[in-house]
Structure formats: structure tokens, C-alpha cells
Amino acid sequence: MNPSATKPPHQSQPLTDKAEYTSPADKSGLPAGTLVHIGEKLESRCRITVTQYNAGTLIRREISSIAELQQLKNAGLITWINVDGLSDTKIIENIGQELDIHPLVLEDILSTHQRPKLEEYDNFLYMVIKGISLDYEKNFCLQYEQISILLLANYVITFKEKADDTFNPIYVHLQNHNGRMRQFGSDYLAYVILDTIVDEYFVVEDNLDDIMDPLEDNILFNSGKEMLQTVQQIRRGLISMKRNISPLRELLATIQRIDSPLLQPKTLRYYGDVYDHVLRVSDALESYRERISAMHDLYLSSISNKMNETIKFLTIFATIFIPLTFIAGIYGMNFEYMPELKWRWAYPAIWGVFITIGAGLLIYFRKKKWM
């Protein structure tokens, strides 16, 4: 797929319930393998979509219970089961029992704070990847979604935290009877899912360019608190993206090294292409981090320069008034014999001295280019 292709923003489904959050501490003391959803509850129910296909057949339907999977088993079709929403742990448990998924894997699926990783089991491969999208209503506000992928013989199962349009391009590709997806196996489908998620990283990268270019141009002229908050928000976002994308390189490198009957040699080269895309994104993130750090330093330098200009102005102002204050202090002393006080033109004369000294200092400062 073309990584530079522009994609529409995510359109998440409206939630019916207020989002709830379960922390890992809530699971403390429970035995290993206990199924408890950890993270934010983004969907009030689980929605299961089953897509089955081969070169000449394409079937897509939504099922309401795991019992229906028994009726859909067909050795001649590639079956893709997509689960949107992880709040119903019973459904996840039933899927695990139906397809013989290890309980520890089911536990990891429900714990949405996993780092990207690959685990190899006897009859399946388990992958975790982070979907990243932008909240277009806010300034560079990133949204993360854990996506778990199970690759079995003729089966791919994906678990997502919420219903959105992330996989819509895949459904479109499946409509093409002559497309490569319809000719290849489940390992190629897993590749396409990974590639589609990684392509979203390029969308975030393009939007980041649109944000940072004008930010660099305006930072010297607008050094308010809002500018600093924007720079800090982008900086935190880049660190978070780096933390979630870097392990993906290890995941894809491991896929190309392992000897698994689930991965065909002709498909491995496609995983290498995704690996190259992730390297490009990682390099771009490193470049953005350097740019935002330079912008942060430039912002601090701008503030420092403005402070220096203010201090210089106050210093010049004080320097002009030091001799005037000295003269005024002398004639303010209560001595009995001060002949100048009785002169007729003493008052205008002292003003003349004040103006001359002030003007002379101003001319001197201008010649020195201090003003």
C-alpha cells in the first residue's frame, strides 16, 4: 500500500455509555489468566463481524453469539473475525474456548496497556499493535487504541477497543475478485491489517508537518503561554508515539526470523515492506523530536531576549536618573548656607542641567547602539 496516500480521519461511533476506566490495580490479587478488562471502556457492547472469502467467494456478516461460529466453519474459506469492544469478557472467553486460545493471551487482549509484541504458540501467533489517530477537534491530540491480532491456519481474529473505520480500506480491497488478498492465505490478511494500521501513522505524520511548519514561523513573534503549551503538547505526543512505535520494529523483525508454518515464504517479503515503513516513521519521529526540541530552545531564547531588552531599558532609564537624583539630593540637604538657592535663575538653571545631562546620556547611548 502507498504510505503517502491521504486517508480520511477516523469516525468513531458515538458511545452510548459514559467511558469508564479500570486500572491494573483493580486486578491485584487475582490469579493469572483471570479475564478482567483493563483500560478505558470505549464501547458499551461487543460487536462481532465475520468475513469469509476465497478467490470466488466473499461473505461478510455480523453475528450475535459465538455459537454461530460453529456454523460458519469452512475449510475452503479464509475467515476473519473482528471484535469491536472489549467490555464483555464472556464473549472474549467464549472465542478463546472455541478456537483454543491460551488464557494468558486472552488476559493480554483485555489488558489494553500492552506494548507492541509478538508471541508464538503451537497453533497460532499473537500480535499486539497500537493504532494511532488524531483528534481533529484539538491541537495535536493523539488517540491510542490497542489492536490484538491472532493468526491461525485459515483464521485471523482481531480485537479492537472501539468501532471505527480503521479496517474499511481492507473491506474495500476484498471487493476486488482479482486482488492479491483473494488469492493469498490468512498470513497475507494479517500483513494487510498491520500495513493498514501503520499507514495511519503516515497520516499523523502529515498532519504533524502541517502543525509544525507554521509553528516554527510564528514562535519568534508569539512567545505567549499558549505557544509554550502547544510545543509541550507536541513534545509529549512525540515521546508517546516513539514509545508505542519503537517496539513494532522488533515485532516485524521477529516475524521475518521465526520459522512458523503459519507464515508462507512468499508472504514474508510483505512484512519486510511494513518493517521499512515503520523505520521511516521512526526516523521521521526522531527528526520531529529534534525540531521540537530546537523550537523549545528557541522559545526560551526568545523569552530570555525579551527579558534582556526589558532589563536594558530599565537600566538605561535608571542610568539617566542617577546623576539627576544625585544633584537633587545635594540641593535637598538642609544646609543653612547654599548660595545657589537664592539665585534668581537657580530653578531654570537646574532644569537646564537636568535636561542637558539626560539628553547627553541619550545621545551617548544611541551612538553606542544601546537603544
Structural domains of the chain ordered from first start: 20-301 (3.30.460.20), 306-367 (1.20.58.340)
Q: How confident is the model at residue 277 (pLDDT cuts 50, 70, 90)?
A: very high
Strand, helix or coil for residue 122: coil
pLDDT higher at 45 or 357: 357
Q: How confident is the model at residue 22 (pLDDT cuts 50, 70, 90)?
A: confident
**pLDDT of the residue at 9:** 41
Q: Is pLDDT above 60 for 331? A: yes
Exposure of 308 by Cβ count < 10 A (0-12 exposed, 13-18 middle, 19+ buried)? exposed
Q: Is pLDDT above 60 for 7? A: no
pLDDT higher at 16 or 165: 165
Mean pLDDT of the 31-60 span: 80
**pLDDT of the residue at 275:** 94
Could you give the angle at which helices 186-218 and 265-331 cross, rounded to 10 degrees?
Answer: 20
Write out pLDDT tens, residues 282-329.
Answer: 999 898 888 888 888 877 887 887 888 888 888 888 888 888 888 888
Mean pLDDT of the 40-57 span: 82
pLDDT higher at 170 or 2: 170
Mean pLDDT of the 250-268 span: 90
CA distance readout (Å), 224 to 218, 221, 231, 299 = 11, 9, 11, 9
Q: What is the share, in percent, of the chain residues with pLDDT greater than 90?
A: 25
pLDDT higher at 281 or 135: 281
* CA R_g for the chain: 34
The residue written with cell numbers 499507514 in the block is 199
Q: How confident is the model at residue 31 (pLDDT cuts 50, 70, 90)?
A: low
CB 131 within 8 A of CB 195: no
Mean pLDDT of the 189-216 span: 88
pLDDT higher at 158 or 100: 158
Q: Is pLDDT above 50 for 2? A: no
Q: Is pLDDT above 90 for 259? A: no
pLDDT higher at 253 or 66: 253
Q: How confident is the model at residue 17 (pLDDT cuts 50, 70, 90)?
A: very low
How many helices and strands (H and E) does the chain possess? 9, 9
Average pLDDT of the chain to the nearest whole number: 82
**pLDDT of the residue at 25:** 63
CA distance 3 to 199: 5
pLDDT higher at 68 or 154: 154
Write out pLDDT tens, residues 115-127.
Answer: 899 999 988 999 9
Q: Which of 144, 115, 149, 155 is nearest to 271 (CA)?
A: 149
